[in-house]
Structure 1
Amino acid sequence: MPVSDAWHQRLAQARLSRQQTQRWRTRGVVAAGTLDFAGNDYLGLAQDPRVSEAQAEGARRFGSGAGASHLVSGHLEIHEALENALARWTGRQRALLFSTGYMANLGVLQALANADTAIFQDRLNHASLLDGATLSGARSRRFHHRDANDLNRLMDRSQCSHKLVVSDGVFSMDGDGADIATLAQVSQRHRAWLMIDDAHGVGVLGDNGSGCVGTRWGSADVPVLVGTLGKALGTAGAFVAGDAALIEHITQFARSYVYTTAQPPSIAAATLKALEIVQGEPEHRDHLNANIAYFRRGALQLGLPLSTSTTPIQPLLLGSEDRTLGWAATLAKHGLQVGAIRPPTVPNGEARLRITLSARHGRRDIDRLLEGLNACQRAEATCHA
């Protein structure tokens, strides 16, 4: 058999396996008029004309791309200004820009950990954190979700000289938050560092939208803070914030930072404007929180399988892949886009609709969503009658 045929056969087998379990992913083109309840633009800043204009002006002033890595010639004054602004916003000495949140988590864990390190991760952490731990070569253990007792038990057993506790700030598929205070206490008890990926908290939670960590927990409590720019801030990229020694170490040793082209300067300019809006216009967060409360009231009245999340991430646990895909298809017919999340993204038997709310949504938009979900219930009841 020719080599090319063997490879195509391997690809076909992998495809068939995913398709048979209803786990094959497809990219849908969002049609005009579709209401998006699947994205992470929590404050609606991705569509804010002021942010778009700042990006355009940044491109006119600095060009369309940085042209090199930060350590060669790609670190421009707009990048420096954004890093300084992010450091002030999060109450840290310094911040460091990355091209994506995935790259930030890979780079930080690879730079900090090695075979002499023990990494302890929440079982529901994002894939980038799990992959970063694997890349580092560290000894990695996963504790039960938000279970400090299990974390403490695992850390008691470890003989490693360096320990790192890692958790999402807001969990991307469940919408619940980490207990930062308890994680910090357990970490300090074991002379470990704590790393929080606040991708879904930055811009939404905390004082001035600084996240679930932000200025409330300083570097002594949370030495390593990661945040993304492509969710509530509406642009793209990520940052790591901490004390000067940490940031200098990551700058030198994070391969995903050293060996990649710097963020386009236009994105940095747009993010500076978005950051200004987040800090100066709390009404966007107020409107978002009102939308969350309104949706939850309506969902509870319909008897939907709502979680306890009070963040913009509102999962509806449906259980099976077939049921989740069926509900998503019904919603699509009503012009509503909602994430149909299946294993391996979530555990087996926990397929769900991942509904996300934004400050761009109005009451009529949420009413349309509730009507669509009610239609899913009615269609299901008819099938079972």
Structure 2
Amino acid sequence: MAFEFIKQKLTKQKTLSRYRQRTCIQQSKVNLSTVDNEESAQIIVDGKTYINFSSNDYLGLNNHQQINQAMQEGIDKFGLCASASSLVTGFHYAHQALEDKICQWLNQPKCLLFSSGFTANVALFQTLGQEVNGDRCHFFLDKLSHASMLDGAFASKAKVQRFAHNNTEQLAQLLSKSNSDHKLIASEGVFSMDGDQAKLTALQQLSHEHKAWLYLDDAHSIGVIGEQGQGSSSQLIASNEDSSTSHIIMATFGKAIATSGAFLACDENLHDYLINFARHYIYSTAISPALAWATIKSIELIQQQQWRRDKINELSHLLIQQLDPSITIIPSESSIHAIIIGNEQKALTISQQLKKQGIWLTPIRPPTVAEGSSRLRVTICANHNENDIKHLAKSLNEALI
């Protein structure tokens, strides 16, 4: 029978406790607060209400009244759809305004918008990973880099090597053995499954020493880290050196920024190169101009409302204090707090126990994480409150001890 492997692979996933199914969220926000437009972190599934600890809405901005109003204003001004690729007639004033806003926010020369972070990552690596006059580009990726970074890198013509997570000593050894004139170091700013940060100072120093470019996927730190939420790239030291040590920033809009899409921020030459050669950009309809208009408003709120970042930190510290000391949680200065369970079935069982307590916490299993490291990935958001955290900690203590 044709494609019989499909059924076989699904059966194997079920046997391994790795079978995945979608959950239909009937209502993603309930009990709207009138204070500072802050939303509840509750969701409704199959008629039951849960506190959501699996959301990437880190700053609690989803469904914010001012962002919604900006979206409607954008529809009225530009329409909902771009109706063409950016190189035909799809590049609207709203897109230019958003790109300018991001450049100013991150102090970057140029910016390019994409439909998703996955698309932006794949586009960058595939387009940059060339062989020029016999000299292959050489990519060095942290072992825990996002799947889209790996897919893009391995689909390119570049030589790809992965260094152990945050092991800058190993990275230095790999760089010293490379003869390529076109080297790129790539890492997430905040790692999506562990919540820990990249060693940015060491990565930047190595990029200077080896004349390599530095690429940061800041999807999980944009909005959450930095004095105005600029992400982990705000911790990079400004340099007046030439473009041989450029850094490139990618971040998504669909997490803390609470809209949809992504951007790449870079120097002018790379910006123009991607416009001319990145197939994912050239042949895709531009993101909605109304969405771009709403994203500008979201970034303005992120810049102005430091209290959202402060609240994430306060609630994160409260969770650590309330958890039993025997529970191991990966150290993190971000919204992401990973509790390693190990076995897939055990992680599923604990998740089901938490649902009975009104807590929605999706277990993360292989291949998203390494075998034997299935986990509960807790995300603390600005729309949680102290009672939410205390209830979570109490339920985790009962389930894990």
Fold conserved (TM > 0.5)? yes
Q: Which of 324, 348, 359 is equivalent to 1:336?
A: 359
User: Secondary structure of the equivalent of 1:261?
Assistant: coil
User: Secondary structure of the equivalent of 1:181?
Assistant: helix
CA distance in structure 2 between the aligned counterparts of 1:176 and 1:294, rounded to whole angstroms: 18
Structure 2 length as normaliser, TM-score?
Answer: 0.90
Give the percent of matched residue pairs that are identical in Structure 1 and Structure 2: 37
Say whether the 8 Å CA contact 1:55–1:270 is kept in structure 2. yes
User: Secondary structure of the equivalent of 1:297?
Assistant: helix
Displacement after TM superposition at 1:173 (Å) = 0.3
Displacement after TM superposition at 1:48 (Å) = 1.2
Q: What does the per-residue CA deviation read over 1:252-289, in whole Å, with 9 as the maximum and x for residues that have no partner?
A: 11111111010111211111110010111111111111
Structure 1 length as normaliser, TM-score?
Answer: 0.93
User: Secondary structure of the equivalent of 2:264?
Assistant: strand
User: Secondary structure of the equivalent of 2:371?
Assistant: coil
CA distance in structure 2 between the aligned counterparts of 1:132 and 1:217, rounded to whole angstroms: 27
Partner of 2:382: 359
Say whether the 8 Å CA contact 1:207–1:215 is kept in structure 2. no
Partner of 2:339: 316
Say whether the 8 Å CA contact 2:87–2:282 is kept in structure 1. yes
Q: Which of 13, 16, 22 is equivalent to 1:27?
A: 22
Matches within 5 A, 1:52-63: 52-63=68-79
User: Secondary structure of the equivalent of 1:257?
Assistant: helix
Matches within 5 A, 1:223-242: 223-242=247-266
Partner of 2:110: 94
Displacement after TM superposition at 1:122 (Å) = 0.3
Partner of 2:95: 79
Partner of 2:34: none
Structure 2: which amino acid aligns with 1:6?
Answer: A
Matches within 5 A, 1:3-42: 5-7=1-3, 9-30=4-25, 31=45, 33-42=49-58
User: Secondary structure of the equivalent of 2:49?
Assistant: coil
Structure 2: which amino acid aligns with 1:243?
Answer: D
Q: What does the per-residue CA deviation read over 1:68-110, in whole Å, with 9 as the maximum and x for residues that have no partner?
A: 1111111100010000000000011111111100000011111
Q: Which of 153, 156, 162 is equivalent to 2:176?
A: 156
Displacement after TM superposition at 1:232 (Å) = 0.7
Larger mean CA deviation between 253-262 and 150-159 belongs to 150-159
Structure 2: which amino acid aligns with 1:16?
Answer: T
User: Secondary structure of the equivalent of 2:183?
Assistant: strand
Partner of 1:214: 234
Displacement after TM superposition at 1:203 (Å) = 0.4
Say whether the 8 Å CA contact 1:314–1:354 is kept in structure 2. yes
Say whether the 8 Å CA contact 2:227–2:306 is kept in structure 1. no
Structure 2: which amino acid aligns with 1:184?
Answer: Q
Say whether the 8 Å CA contact 1:83–1:96 is kept in structure 2. yes
CA distance in structure 2 between the aligned counterparts of 1:147 and 1:108, rounded to whole angstroms: 24
CA distance in structure 2 between the aligned counterparts of 1:377 and 1:174, rounded to whole angstroms: 19
Q: What does the per-residue CA deviation read over 1:193-252, in whole Å, with 9 as the maximum and x for residues that have no partner?
A: 111111111100012110111374447565211111111111111111121112111111
Matches within 5 A, 1:191-206: 191-206=211-226
Say yes or no: does 1:183 pair with 2:206: no
User: Secondary structure of the equivalent of 2:87?
Assistant: helix
Structure 1: which amino acid aligns with 2:386?
Answer: R
CA distance in structure 2 between the aligned counterparts of 1:124 and 1:377, rounded to whole angstroms: 26
Q: What does the per-residue CA deviation read over 1:138-160, in whole Å, with 9 as the maximum and x for residues that have no partner?
A: 11000011011100111222222
User: Secondary structure of the equivalent of 1:194?
Assistant: strand
Matches within 5 A, 1:98-177: 98-115=114-131, 116-177=136-197
**Aligned pairs, how many?**
372
Q: What does the per-residue CA deviation read over 1:314-351, in whole Å, with 9 as the maximum and x for residues that have no partner?
A: 00001110111111111122221112111111111111
CA distance in structure 2 between the aligned counterparts of 1:194 and 1:352, rounded to whole angstroms: 30
What's the RMSD between the two structures over aligned residues? 1.5
User: Secondary structure of the equivalent of 2:176?
Assistant: helix
Structure 2: which amino acid aligns with 1:333?
Answer: K
Contiguous gaps of at least 5 residues in structure 2: 26-44
Displacement after TM superposition at 1:132 (Å) = 0.8
